Chains A and B, each alone.
Chain A
Amino acid sequence: MSLLSVAVGGAVLAGWTIDNATLKSLYPGLVTMKPNDALGLILTGGALWLMRREPVPRSRRRWGIFCALGAGLIGLTALSEYAFGWDLGIDQLLFRESHDVIWTSQPGRMAPTSAVNFLLLGTALALLDRPRRHWLVETLTLAVVFVSLFAYLAHLYALELLHGTGYYTHMAVHTAVAFCLLCAGILTSRPDRGFMGIVASATAGGVMARRLLPATILAPALLAWLGFVGQRFGYYGTVFGLALLALATIIALSILVLWSANSLYRVDVERARTEAALRSHRERLQLMVDGAKDYAMLMLDAEGLVQSWNPGAERIEGYGEEEIVGQHFSRFYVREDSIAAKPRRHLTFAAAQGAMEDEGWRLRKDGSRFWANTILTALRDEDGRLRGFALLMRDMTDRMRIEEKLKDANAELSHREEALRTALSDATKTQQALESAQLQVVQTEKMESVGRLAAGVAHEVKNPLAIIQSGIDYLGDRNDGDPVRKEVLNEMEYAVTRADRIIGGLLDFSMPGTLEPTYEDLNAVIDRALLLVKHELDRSRISVARAMTPDLPPVWIDERKMEQVFLNVFLNAIQAMPHGGTMSVKTWVRPSAETGLPIGSRSSKVVRHMGRVVVTEVDDTGTGIPENLLRKVFEPFFTTKPTKKGTGLGLTVAKAIVEMHGGMISLSNRARGGVQVLVTLRTKGAADDASQAIAADR
């Protein structure tokens, strides 16, 4: 609109420049638009364009106000010329106009109505960017509208009466139209303010205004024009014409009123229905709020002052509604939280984030504390402005205490569970110890019974053996040289010797006795044991591979018992190779730290020594021992030999004797078949340490 107005002004100035009557007055015979009118329109149009939309930047506003004041000054100057009969020389300043133009009192001087309009419009535009003066802007603009409308209607009806006496210049048609466009532009540039705010609103008032205003303006103008046309063509006289105009106006206005009334009625009915629904909803909400005894529901204003209070809040906090409404909600906070500015921070946070939730101690009226869950929700209006806060508070003290008790109970439970676990572990250990002890007792009892048995057997069997041996001697003395008989007697004597040895082993096993150790050369002891089994080796066609390290350090042993050990080991190897093979015997020295030998008796503790040990390795090329039976080989009466071939005590006795010496014996299957037995014994220095350890142990 502003640009249209500028365009109209520009076109008219162009018309003046080229002296074009159409551009100056639209139609020959009509009053011209004066150059100052055109200039004023350009200024006002420019001012409106600069300030057409909010917010207006400072430079634009400055230029806008400058243009507006310029237009106002043009109007004021023209008015003063009319009022005081002056000729300030501005009328013909831009272009000269002849004196014979119609409806012009002074050539080139704008109509007084145009002058008034420019003064009013200039003022209105200068105030356009001041919201508090908007009522004035609207009033001035409407005044311009009415003045322009009057000028336009005057042209329309072409009434001499309305055109004045000829003393004043008349407003040109396009000037009037341009004024109207400018006014429309000004009013719509701030559609949310003043009565334009109402007209543009979705309210019933807005709807009615938008509907009635055009009709109110157009209907009387149109009816008056029709009446005027009828009169000019002589259809009726002035009185009849006036009566007709009055009647038509009454009818038109009545229709408008009834139409609007109908619309208002419907809006009102709808509103009443909505209000009823709203009331019902509000009542239900109120009932809910009042009924929520466990929840404190409060409305706070934007500053945190209590606006409303429900019975739940009264029950929880202890304040009556009359004593708390208007108070700041920070009084619910405990002192330390208030000092820490927690209430303010909560409001700020809720305002920024929309809501906030907190759990903490709160204060009752009587000063007692309670553990509360608080939800603070910011409430905003349609424009996003903060209206206040809804505060929902619940007393969680009981739950918190229950949770604490639960936590304690859980901790106690965990503690007890741990204790139970420990007890169970202890019980398991005790049970294992008991089982071990029981096994020990059983073993001991077994050994004792074996001991008793062995002693009895030794005596009872050896006497018959002695008789048989005497019988063999007797028969041998009387042999007549029969080689078969001699062979039989030899076999019998060998059987007696073997039985005697078995019994000897039984006695050794059951009564290992005490050690009588001396320093011995282990190689010599092994050789003596080999000599004892020479007969068995030959019989079984077993070769012996000796690989003894010469000059072994002396070992601290009971040589007779150690001889027994090797005897048993050798017999074991021999019996593993019934169809011949090779038995290798090796000895060597190595540091004892590798071995970790237990010292002293069978149950003595393990002590590591830095001395050296002598290792004896006895390998056979027999069938070996099934892996699952390996750990049993040292148990009493365990044997893999056929019945009557072994006592099951040989290795048990050997182990007992070796351990009494603080040594170690182990048995394993060789990778290439057969069994390997390792006997590890202390050398002189290590044995001294062991003896001291044994002495200390005792």
Chain B
Amino acid sequence: MPRKRLLLIDDEEPFTRLLKLNLEESGEYEVRVENEGLQAVAAACEFEPDLILLDVIMPDADGGEVAALLKTHEKLRNVPIVFLTAAVSKQELSGPSGTIGGRVFVAKPVNKRDLVEIIERALGAPS
């Protein structure tokens, strides 16, 4: 069974490094990391991920703008995006994740168990 490809876009390098290690540990995911928001679109076009984990607040670009750019590409249009961010709290989301304005948010910090569950749910659901 081919590994599911996840594109992780976040400016926090230590976080992306550790998360990549954790997600790839099981062998079910291939994770590509991109630490700059504006370069992430090109990387996504090249990588063609099954799901994108996108930070909201980054130095060079806003998560929302990046998501809008990603949706402009035909092959990326249907790729689910999960916003992984420190800008929302679990209280706001009523749990580790939640939907705001039709978009899925995950509040940092999140443990691996919860994150995998969210990823699987997002991959299973039509985008």
Contact = CB atoms under 8 A, between A and B. Distances in A.
B14 interface: yes
Which DSSP category, helix, strand, loop or mixed, fits chain A's interface?
A: helix
Given A462-B109, A467-B12, A469-B110, A474 B87 contact: no
A205 interface: no
Interface in B1-35: 12, 14-15, 18-19, 21-22, 25
Contacts of B110: 466, 469
Interface in B82-122: 86-87, 89-92, 94, 107-112
A504 B15 contact: no
Contacts of A564: 91
Contact of A477 (B25, B57, B89): B25
Contacts, number: 77
A470 interface: yes
A465 interface: yes
Contacts of B12: 463, 466-467
A458 B87 CA distance: 7
Nearest to A499: B109
B1 to A, nearest CB: 20
A471 interface: yes
Interface residues of B, number: 22
A284 interface: no
Contacts of B107: 462, 500
A507 B92 contact: yes
A138 to B, nearest CB: 139
A496 interface: yes
Given A459-B57, A459-B87, A473-B111, A560 B94 contact: yes
B109 A465 contact: yes
Contact of B19 (A470, A501, A513, A560): A470
A660 interface: no
A561 to B, nearest CB: 9
Given A472-B111, A473-B112, A493-B111, A467 B91 contact: no
A461 B108 CA distance: 10
Contact of A463 (B22, B86, B94, B111): B86
B127 to A, nearest CB: 24
Contact of A508 (B57, B91, B112): B91
Contacts of A477: 22, 25, 112
A466 B94 contact: no
B92 A462 contact: no
Contacts of B89: 458, 500, 503-504, 507-508
B14 A504 contact: no
A515 interface: no
B27 to A, nearest CB: 12
B56 to A, nearest CB: 9
Contact of A467 (B15, B92, B111): B15
B125 to A, nearest CB: 23
A468 interface: yes
Given A462-B109, A465-B109, A466-B110, A504 B22 contact: no
Contacts of A471: 18
B90 A470 contact: no
12 contacts: A458-B86, A463-B15, A463-B86, A463-B108, A465-B86, A466-B12, A466-B108, A469-B110, A473-B22, A501-B91, A504-B92, A507-B89
